Structure 1
Amino acid sequence: MTRPEPVRRDGAPARNAWRTTLAVLLLAVGTSASADRAPVLGQVDLPHSYYWRELYLPQLTTGPSSAAFLPDGEELVYSMAGSLWRQRIDSDSAVELTHPNGAYDYQPDVASDGRSAVFVRYDGQALRLWRIDLESGRQSALTTGNAVDVEPRLSPDGRRLAWVGTEGSGHFNLFIADIDAAGLHNARPLLAARKSAIDRYYYSAWDHAINPSWSPDGRSLVFVGNPEVAWGSGDIYAVAIDDPDHPRRILGEETSWNAHPEIAPDGRRVLFSSYHGRQTQQLWLTTLDGAAPLPLSFGDFDRRNARWSPDGKRIAGIDNRSGNTELRVLEVVGGATTRVAANQRKTLSAQAQLVLDIADADGQAVPARVSVIGSDGRAHAPADAWMHADDGFDRKRQPFETQYFHCQPPCTIDVPAGAVSVSVRRGFASQPWQTRTTATAGRQTRLQARLAGHALPEAFGNWISADLHVHMNYGGHYRNTPENLVRQARAEDLDVVFNLIVNKEERIPDIDRFRTDVDPASTAQTRLWHAQEYHSSFWGHLGLLQLDDHLLLPDFASYRHTAMASPYPHNGIVADLAHAQHALVGYVHPYDTLPDPTNDAGLSHQLPADVINGKVDYLEVVGFSDHKTTAAVWYRLLNLGFHLAAGAGTDAMANYASLRGPVGLNRVFLDTGGQRDATAIATALKGGHGFVSNGPLLGLIVDGGKPGDTVALARTTRYRIALRSPVAIDHLELVHNGAVVRRFTLTGERRDFDAEGSLNLADGGWLLLRAWNEAADPGVLDLYPYATTNPVWLGDNVRAASAGADATWFADWLGRSLAVVAAREDFNTAEEKTATLAYLAAARDAYRKIADEAESLPSP
């Protein structure tokens, strides 16, 4: 008998605008070209990939990530460190079942007869379904192609398989197929595609269906779907397999990708995970009739991916009470909990051990970021380390996204015997270190990483580095603490961290951490402050640093289809409230594409109005956005004479397993004289005394002045510059009033450069130094390497010759905003709308006045 080929599941091409857009930049900024760096799983056509990828899809963690009971209820099959393992609950010994070279395995589901299990395999390109015979260990593919297939669930009789896939649409939907020894047959979507009538910010306009679980009789599924749900991943539904056109809603609740409803073996109760008015996720029970949910578990940590035992007496699930993920089994009656720990591991291949020591240029032990790739083509880390992964990569240069952990040396890593590559990075002022070695089975290999210094000459400033935009906890796999966040920052050679407390839809993680002084977890080297991000996707997000009394609540505005739909308060009001608390106000992660006042009908971002009204202290020129595009808008504001300082923030979700970059990926270097106190930081940041970067270090002195200073306009302007970079740099340029006035030729490794010279500048205005690449570099976990100094201001006439055109551009922008606001009917009161329109109109008129003044000036 010929075995049929696996069912092919091809995903549709996806849009991921914030990563793939080529921005047309003004004023000789250049062109963004990061096409070689593509998103992880870009075939999924959903917005905000950093949420659904972390909160929904399986990720590589050193701890367990999901589990399923064997029929006796005494043994589990679970995923851990990219492999499947089998272990008895009362044992500390785990047996490895799978270990694919160049791939990772997740989400097992065991057949009711205990003979086989289905699971998910990730190979850097797609997520596909596989099956393993638990007796022989034989593995076979069930789906192929380029789709994302996850959450496989076998029916109780073992004859059908349900799962979530993206084939044909790029959206998550329920699929079902018959399954036998030969594979899958008659694979099909269970639910018809449906588009909701309401607009959604974090979710596609197309409905999704996720988290399937079978009823005990195998006739129906429960799942999570989001028809007409604006916020949250959806409500809990039930659907009969033979009547898929009539799903029935069981419970309406704002879930967050991880509800995973599970019908109990008794067929009555439904177990699910929810934060349900809290800050963390715990286990709850409802019924198939939608009874008011009651909590089954409690704790200041997350419990997820829960599964009933076949007899309904136990629940296995993953929690992060210790910080990392752990597998625990809960007794339903009595609540006794057993941790299933793999203290002894029987692996499929011979193992070796690496011990890594890390020291700085002075020979002092220092923590750092480490990547280890074993002979199996997989990433490895110490058993208790938090594994992290980048959100994009160049598939011509590496098979997987960069995966890494933070090492507090010495670090011990178990790896398969054979060739191993190790790379170590620590901040921007140390040279990267890497090596390849051979790990011998049963032996220990000790490695010494010495990180050579690579700092700027002292003449350019006495710097501290700060990440102005970090989220300590934001719904991720791990549970972070101030102490651990400080350790993360220290490993990245970061001096200052601002943890921006902000809502994730209904909840505000870390709200109980807010304080007005430095966190007690801070050290002499690394300071941690808790600050705030104010959410309004209509007006743009704000960073509020150094509030001295309280958080501004409710922390967000303009949440459509809710009781807080009103666009009031607008960001100017919020800025006033923050400034009343002596805070600094900045616009964060602003622009992925260049605003177009001529054609952008929905242009409501409030930056220009707030800048001209004196509300803004800094702009994240380097942040979770396109840096060159953001700089193009910034240059126009500088051309109008606004001393708007450049800030930088990673927007790192520091408890994520999959995130855009580590804490400190985007940082501002502040010339504080080495001081780390709040006053020195605020003075340097607001004054523009420094530069922003995701890798290159820049030094600039102009006629004796440094960034943020004003110097007299001279017939000949003298400059001195310096570049130090951990990666090769393509372009190093001096920019005057938005135009490149000097390009420097970099040769050799293109990582070090020093120069002095002069310029003849007819006009005043501003001058800055920037470094950038067209394409991504694996050494910088961002769109592309980029750095810019703040400007040095030249003379008293700080408006550029292009000020009239720039002011008209912003006036047209605000004209678009006025039209958008005038069309909204969801203000709470007429007074709110009138005040908002008046604020925007006054800002528009102020820009028009600048344009008129520029037109009236005599031509040169």
Structure 2
Amino acid sequence: MIRSFAAAILLAFALAIPVNAQDQAQSEPQPGREPVLRQVDVPHNYYWREMYIPQLTSGASSLSWSPDGSALVYSMQGSLWRQDIASGEAFQLTAGPGYDYQPDWSPDGSTIIFSRYDEDAIELWTLDVASGAARRLTSNGGVNLEARWSPSGDRIAFVSTFATGRFRIFTAAMDGGAFEPVQFSPERESAISRYYYSTFDHELSPSWSPDGSEIIYVTNPETGYGTGSLWRRAVAGGEPQLVREEETSWRARPDWGPGGSRIIWSSYAGRQWHQLWIVNAAGGLPIPLTYGDFDIFSPRWSPDGRHIAFVSNESGDGRIEILDLPGGARRELAISAPVYLHDVGTLALTLTDEDGRPVAARISVTGSDGRSYAPETAMIHADDNFDRADRAQEQRYFHANGHAGITLPVGPAEVTVWRGLEHAVEHRTVDIRPGPATRLTVQMQPITLPGFDAWQSADVHVHMNYGGSYRMTPERMVAQAAAEDLDIVFNTLVNKEQRIPDIEYAGTQPDPASTADTLLVPAQEFHTSVWGHLGLLGLTSHFLLPDYSSYPGTGLFSLFPDNPTIADLAHQQGAVVGYVHPFDPGAEANTYSTHQVPVDAALGNMDYYETVGFADFHTSADIWYRLLNLGFRISAAGGTDAMANYASLRGPVGLNRTYVLPGELAEGPSPVERRDAWIAGLRAGRSIATNAPLLVFDLNGEGPGGDISLPAEGGELEWTAAMISLARVDHVEIIHNGQVAATLTLDADGKFAAARGTIPISESGWILLRAWSSEDQPEVLDLYPYGTTSPVYVSVDGKPARSEEDRQYMLTWIDLIEQHARTSEDYNDAAERETVLGNIARARAVYEAMR
């Protein structure tokens, strides 16, 4: 139980330890969290893992026809299921261990091959249809996917990373002898540089021609921007033939039609969502076959070529539909009666607040078999990293509004419940039995600090739809945010390849789906692989176009518009501008990248900075501290970069959040007034960025964003600080001009600290409170717990803060930025070049004037 604030603060007042900055030896965190499927050596795992690797979902994710066309086998809830297309009865074929995906039915009907995710790898398995016996086919420790039988049934083609860590196609004989994969084509390295992809080409999604002589697949030779196009190549070897050039975005899954003349695949082709397209196998002009503002994927021709089965996320999660050709009639393959392999029971879960009222929350349920379970209609999400010392696989969870019913195996089940950062994490064990539902009520217990209820929370960096498995709607987004006890969600619209998935929600008003408790607010992220990404909050006129620049090989290859230009346009609309997910570990050693952080800081363009976000917190803070040391006033912000329609989520929404003290509001404020007050508070620096620690800091009566003026001789300032956290931390520190000035003593469980003290001031600068852990903690799905206030600014004799070391650091950085901008030929005209160089020159002049 959390001790009372008053008792704790009295105890801790005497225990604050002033530390001389010269003597402070700070230990950097040693997080144990690593990416899921770390053996894959391909950049940007948050793209390929979600959009290519199969995911645990409540709905279907992939399917295959039986040879006679009467039934489908499909993956759902991590198991394989079989269902006659004329029946609502579905039979579970596998139930682990692990999670089973991507089934393919052999031509003779005897065997189903599939991929099983277990033991930190994805291996190929076969299932004997008659006996139900499963047999492991590969044991290479890699990621083995998309196995497809040849038409004769004597070979398979599949994708594997076992040889190089990259996705390559292999073929292998299935004659009962030794399983010996043969690489489909030679390894190839493209001569061009690629931002999102390895310099080595990859191969994805093989599908055999009806005569078994060729394979159509996705690959990306000399493609600087994109996952690749559709190609075909003879199995015996030879040069590949281009069938369709486009950005396939990991999701194409081409399927060669039974007659051999047509290929169907999933494509967004100039739209925002993936639909089915069809093209001649020899190439030519493709045409769309389906239409809609949702995704259709994993298409498969029926054996007679008269039907196409596919998965759709129109209802949010995956559902199977069958399309008739010709005619276009569509029908859902609905399940009315699931038949399970083993005994199951039902968990009836109720979530309440401290007063016993139903309340929304985030839930993780692990069954007696070690697998994760969720309601049939829930969106299951999975952590993108995990600590293998804590658990065998990544954490999976779902959101529920007060009640949830879950079918899972009989036996003991583990239940974990979160509700944002202002409630303790609750753990329960419950025994599931067959028959009547097992009932469990979990009451959420608040954790808070005096006065903290006036602060309003927001996630400043969320992508509602970003090419993921699910189809999010504003209503679903608001419901998830409510379960995370989040007051505001900024949906930062941005491109995914050539499209902007949420462009229909661009606007200047909070979304109509907003509630009295939770606002959904449109915002924008400006994308460039050169200058660094910007968040634009509170645009009052229009969405800025183009939404991205510096994309090689496209019509938006130019370095213009640069970030200062975009920031100026956003400020003209009254927005606040911030740098998002700024720096990863190691950036301090080679920070001299082309990120325009020092340029926009000097030009007054940077209102906030994601000190807590999709980056390393200490590395990002080091750069922020250098800017603060030069007198720039930049607010701390927390933004998750959540991709909310991902199943393998960077999140959940609100994982990284910003608390703002918005100031006085009229009674019953409108959504616009609430948004504007929050943004005004962020602009003024009344903010806290955190993923766990809640912080209260007062310096001579001023909180974060405040100003204190001292005479020329300086003075001594009194501070009061407190921290409470749902996860253990081991450092709570007062930071003065980038150095630790005092530490607070933590209680026994590392979740509470409070103290007061004094700090001598002799020069202008800033002071803030931060808390962090040197290790990752299982309650927080992030690198490690970390929280920081924005600074209180202190002026001595009216002089600005200055640091010669940091001034030289920024000037050296600007030298590299200018060198890149000056030597690059990536401009449309001379005026663009001069504008970019002019912005850099203006920033340089600011630093040079700081002598």
TM > 0.5 fold call: yes
Alignment partner, residue 628 of structure 1:
618
Percent identity over the alignment? 46
Deviations 1:794-832 (A, max 9, x none): 234687876111011000000011111122112111221
Kept in 2, the 8 Å contact 1:543–1:586? The answer is yes
Is 1:614 equivalent to 2:604 in the alignment?
yes
Residue identity in the other structure for 1:571: N
Matched residue, 1:689: 686
Q: Deviations over 1:534-577 (max 9, x none)?
A: 11110011111111111111211110122211101111001111
Q: CA deviation at 1:595?
A: 4.1
Q: Conserved in 1, the CA contact under 8 Å of 2:588 and 2:622?
A: no
Q: Distance in 2 between matches of 1:533 and 1:546?
A: 12
Task: Report the 3-state secondary structure (helix = DSSP H, G, I; strand = E; otherwise coil) of the residue aligned with 1:129.
Answer: strand
Out of 303, 307, 310, which is 1:314 matched to? 307
Out of 50, 64, 67, which is 2:60 matched to?
64
Is 2:211 aligned against 1:214? no
Give the secondary structure class of the aligned counterpart of 1:712.
Answer: strand
Helix, strand or coil: the match of 2:239?
Answer: strand
Q: Conserved in 1, the CA contact under 8 Å of 2:510 and 2:521?
A: yes
User: Is 2:779 aligned against 1:779?
Assistant: yes
CA distance in 2, matches of 1:232, 1:798: 53
Matched AA of 1:317 = F
The 5 Å alignment of 1:617-696 reads 617-673=607-663, 677-696=674-693
Give how far 1:753 is off. 1.9
1:731 alignment partner in structure 2: 731
Q: Helix, strand or coil: the match of 1:843? A: helix
- Match of residue 484 from structure 1: 476
- For 1:716-744, what per-residue CA distance to the aligned partner results, in whole angstroms no more than 9, with x for missing partners? 21111111100111110000000001112
- Secondary structure (helix, strand or coil) at the match of 2:271 reads coil
Report the equivalent of 1:17: none
CA shift digits 1:233-277 (9 cap, x unpaired): 11101010111x411111111111011111100000011110111
Match of 1:126 in 2: 121
Determine the C-alpha separation between the residues in 1 that align with 2:772 and 2:22.
16
Which one of 110, 125, 130 corresponds to residue 135 of structure 1?
130
CA contact (8 A) 1:70 1:76 kept: yes
C-alpha distance in 2, partners of 1:608/1:29?
27
* 1:731-750 map, 5 Å: 731-750=731-750
1:496 matched to 2:488: yes
TM-superposition CA deviations, 1:446-467 (whole Å, max 9, x none):
1111111101211x57111000
Cα 1:466–1:27, aligned 2, differ >3 Å: closer, same or farther? farther
Q: Are the aligned partners of 1:640 and 1:799 in contact in 2 as well (CA < 8 Å)?
A: no
Q: Once the 2 structures are TM-superposed, how far is the Cα of residue 492 of structure 1 from its aligned partner?
A: 0.1
- 1:236 counterpart (220, 230, 236): 230
For residues 206-355 of structure 1, the aligned pairs below 5 Å read 206-243=200-237, 245-355=238-348
Deviations 1:684-742 (Å, cap 9, x if unpaired)?
Answer: 00111021100110010111110000123462211111111001111100000000011
In structure 2, the residue matched to 1:86 is 82
Once the two structures are superposed, residues 566-601 of structure 1 have per-residue CA deviations (whole angstroms, 9 ceiling, x without a partner) of 10111100111111111111111110035458x667
Q: Given that residues 690 and 707 in structure 1 are in contact (C-alpha distance below 8 angstroms), is that contact kept between their aligned partners in structure 2?
A: yes
C-alpha change, 1:542 and 1:31, in structure 2 (3 Å) is farther
Question: Which piece of structure 1 moves more, 468-477 or 761-770?
Answer: 761-770
Specify the alignment match of 2:532 in structure 1: 540
Are residue 375 (structure 1) and residue 368 (structure 2) matched?
A: yes
Separation (CA, whole Å) in 2 of partners of 1:125 and 1:207: 25
Counterpart residue number, 2:171: 176
Cα distance in 1 for residues equivalent to 2:28 and 2:772: 10
Three-state SS of the structure 2 residue aligned to 1:813 is: helix
CA gap of 1:64–1:461, structure 2 versus 1, over 3 A, is closer
- The residue aligned with 1:766 is 766
Cα gap change, 1:629 to 1:290, in 2 (>3 Å): same
Change (3 A) 1:30 1:91: farther
Change (3 A) 1:31 1:329: farther
Aligned counterpart, 2:824: 824
Q: How far, CA to CA, are the matches of 1:185 and 1:418 in structure 2?
A: 38
Per the alignment, do residues 628 and 660 of structure 1 end up closer, same or farther by CA in structure 2, a change over 3 Å counting? Answer: same
Distance 1:567 1:797 in 2: 42
Specify the alignment match of 2:707 in structure 1: 710
The separation in 2 between residues aligned to 1:683 and 1:673, in whole angstroms, is 9
Aligned to 2:95: 99
Q: Residues 28 and 94 (structure 1 numbering): CA distance in 2 closer, same or farther, change over 3 Å? A: farther
Alignment partner, residue 670 of structure 2:
none
Deviation at 1:674, TM superposition (A): 7.6
Q: What is the alpha-carbon root mean square deviation over aligned residues? A: 1.7
Q: For residue 342 of structure 1, report the CA deviation from its aligned partner.
A: 2.2
**Is the 8 Å Cα contact of residues 635 and 687 (structure 2) preserved in structure 1?**
no
Which amino acid is 2:630 matched to?
L
Contact 1:224 / 1:237 at 8 angstroms: preserved in 2? Answer: yes
Q: Tell me what 1:512 maps to.
A: 504
Displacement of 1:759 in angstroms is 2.1
Q: Deviations over 1:334-353 (max 9, x none)?
A: 11112112231111110111
CA distance in structure 2 between the partners assigned to 1:848 and 1:204 by the alignment: 40
Deviation at 1:754, TM superposition (A): 1.9
Distance change in 2, residues 1:250/1:760 (3 Å):
same
Structure 2 Cα separation of the partners of residues 755 and 35 of structure 1: 28
Q: Is the 8 A contact 1:29 1:632 kept in 2?
A: no
Which of 29, 41, 44 is residue 40 of structure 2 equivalent to?
44
CA distance in 2, matches of 1:810, 1:448: 55
User: What residue in structure 2 maps to residue 191 of structure 1?
Assistant: 185
Structure 1 stretches lacking a partner, 5+ long:
1-24, 854-860
Structure 2 vs 1, CA of residues 643 and 254 (structure 1 numbering), >3 Å: closer, same or farther?
Answer: same
Partner of 1:15: none
The Cα shift of 1:443 comes to 3.1
1:559 aligns with 2:551: yes
Alpha-carbon distance between aligned partners in 1 of 2:655 and 2:164, rounded to the nearest angstrom: 33
Q: Is the 1:124–1:401 Cα contact (8 Å) retained in structure 2?
A: no
**Matched position secondary structure for 1:222:** strand
Structure 1 window deviating more from structure 2 (751-760 vs 645-654): it is: 751-760
Q: Would you say the 8 A contact 2:65–2:302 is kept in 1?
A: yes
Give distance in 1, aligned partners of 2:407 and 2:84. 23
C-alpha contact 2:72 2:85 (8 A) present in aligned 1: yes
How many corresponding residue pairs? Answer: 821
Cα displacement (A) at 1:288? 1.4
Contact 1:641 1:799 in 2 (8 A): no
Question: Runs ≥4 in structure 1, deviation > 6 angstroms?
Answer: 25-29, 798-802
Please name the residue that 2:788 is paired with: 788
Conservation of the 8 A alpha-carbon contact between 2:764 and 2:801: no
Instruction: Supply the AA of the counterpart residue of 2:808.
Output: T
SS in 2 for 1:437: strand
- Cα drift, residue 442 of structure 1: 2.1
Which residue of the partner structure matches residue 108 of structure 1?
103
Is residue 323–residue 480 contact of structure 1 (8 Å, CA) maintained in 2?
A: yes
CA distance in structure 1 between the aligned counterparts of 2:32 and 2:274, rounded to whole angstroms: 37
How many angstroms apart in 1 are the aligned matches of 2:462 and 2:28?
25
Q: Secondary structure at the match of 1:716?
A: strand
Secondary structure of 1:677's counterpart equals helix
Q: Which amino acid aligns with 1:651?
A: D
Q: CA deviation at 1:767?
A: 0.7
Match for 1:268: what amino acid?
A: S
> Which blocks of at least 5 consecutive residues in structure 2 are unaligned?
1-20, 666-672
